Each structure stands twice: as C-alpha cells, then as structure tokens.
Amino acid sequence: MGLIFGKALCAARMQQDLRQAEVARRAGMDQSYLAAIEKGRRKTPAYPLIKGLLTAIGSTAAEQRRLAHLATVDSLIESLNDEVPPGHPADAFRAILSQMACLGEVEMRCVATLVESLAQDRAKRMEEYR
C-alpha cells in the first residue's frame, strides 16, 4: 500500500509538531483514516485529499511537490501490485520505483528528461521501421 507517502506524510506532520487528530480535523477526515495512511495500511489517497492533507500540515510548496511526487510513486507501485504478478518482468520496475522515492526534485527532473528522451527515441525508431 502507500507506505512511502505515508511515512513521508507522518514525518512532515511531526516536523510541524502537529497531532494526527488536528491534521485530520483540518483536512476533514477521520483520524483513524489518517493513521492508516501514515502506516501504509491504506492505498494512496486521491490527489484532492493529498492536497488537503498537505495544506492542513502547512507544508511549503517544495515539500508539497515532494510529497505529491511520493504519492505518485506509491500509486504506480500499487498499480503494479494490482496488475503484475510476482516474477513478471515488470516486477523489476516496481523495485526501481521504490528506489526513486528517495530522489530529490532535481534528480526526478533528470529521470523524467531521460525517460522522455528514451520514449522519443523509441518512437523515432518505430517510425523508421514502418
């Protein structure tokens, strides 16, 4: 489940010296649901709820981007967990995504640029074969 995002959310909340109950109240959710998210017992919430949580914590814009990125990584991992059986070649991608969670914003931009470049190169090669 959403363990990477949950741990990071918990750390951000604790850094602001906020209790779960206060953040849950500000975000308009039940405290037990927030606890389950932080412990990775629930799937990564939808973006509007993530935005509400980050606003409730009072995160900086940079921290909000980082946490949103981690939520995206968790969502991708969850999708793979739902759709890819263990041992499938895409299983390696799941491991790569887990490692990407510790990258900073600059590193993530580099990865995104590399992936985009690879996709463009592949599309170009596919056109050449036609």
The pTM assigned to this predicted structure is 0.67
| Cα–Cα distance, 61 to 70 (Å, whole number) | 14
Structure tokens, 43: 């799937």
pLDDT, one tens digit per residue, over 19-72 is 999 999 999 999 999 999 998 888 888 889 989 999 999 988 888 888 888 888
The structural domains of the chain, ordered by start, are: 3-103 (1.10.260.40)
Q: At what angle do helices 3-15 and 31-38 cross, to 10 degrees?
A: 120
pLDDT, one tens digit per residue, over 58-116 is 988 888 888 888 888 777 777 766 676 777 766 666 667 666 666 666 666 666 666 66
